[in-house]
Amino acid sequence: MLSTPAVSVSLHARLREATSHAHQQLESLLGLLDSPMSYTRFVAVLMRFHGFHRVWEPALERTLGDAAFTGPRRRLTLIEHDLRALDIDDLDIEALPIVPEAAQLCRTLDGALGSLYVMEGSTLGGRVITRRLLEDADWCPEEGLLYFHPYGDLTGERWRQTLALLDLVPVERHEAVVEGALETFALLLQWLEPAVVASHPRDDDTPSEWGVAL
């Protein structure tokens, strides 16, 4: 009897399918396409991403050990640029809280690759977010903001490079990479939520203006 050949699903397809629910949750939590986009909400979200990248980027670089790949993908300074362009001063930026658990996402190579998929993928939706901000948010500087659209015309090329790296992962390690991506979305959801909630204060709440302890 003929056996059915195993269908091999690419790691990218598995990642997309496994994380689509979490992506939707994050997208709707952040509401970055809400119209009009609130300045307070946007700044609070950027501040939380700052606390994530500050820990995650060095951890990723240590684990991947490929400076030529990770160097052009650093985005911490882009967040700082955006916060300054939105009138946040350096002392407040320096004092922003970090999320130490972000280092754990990169404790193994497979975890780091899953995490890389999530953070690089965010540059795809970032194109839409940036266009919307320019059209719709009167507080957005004319020259635009950088964090959500860090690579400009190189976005497609950088994404293809990331997918090419994921293509090298042998099939027996796919599950661990998918786990890493899911853990990354879970941590982001948990870390970003207070910023979003606090930028919509209820009458009986007295949160800090930015949803973070400055």
Q: What are the residues binding ligand HEM (CB under 6 A)?
A: 12, 16, 23, 26-27, 30, 32-33, 117-119, 121-122, 124-125, 128-129, 188
Which of 46/96 has CB closer to ligand HEM?
46
**Shortest Å distance, C-beta 182 to ligand HEM:** 11
Q: How far is the CB of 130 from ligand HEM (least distance, A)?
A: 11
Instruction: Using the minimum distance from each CB to ligand HEM, give the nearer residue, 31 or 207.
Output: 31
Tokens of 179: 């786990």
How far from each other are the two terminal CA atoms of the chain, in whole angstroms? 68
Kind and range of the H or E element at 37? none
Of the two residues 12 and 81, which places its CB atom closer to ligand HEM in the complex? 12
- Residue with tokens 């890493």, as numbered in its chain: 180
In terms of CB distance, is 46 or 89 closer to ligand HEM?
46
Nearest distance in Å: CB 202, ligand HEM: 23
Beta-carbon contacts of 33 under 8 Å, excluding residues fewer than 6 positions away, are 128, 129, 132
Q: Which is nearer to ligand HEM, 125 or 201 (CB)?
A: 125
Of 26 and 99, nearer to ligand HEM (C-beta) is 26
Least CB distance from residue 114 to ligand HEM, whole Å? 10
Q: Residue 189's CB: how many other CB atoms inside 10 A? A: 14
In the complex, minimum distance from the CB of residue 79 to ligand HEM, in angstroms, rounded to a whole number: 13
Rg (CA), the chain: 18
Residue 142 CB neighbours (<10 A): 5
CB of 194 to ligand HEM, least distance (A): 15
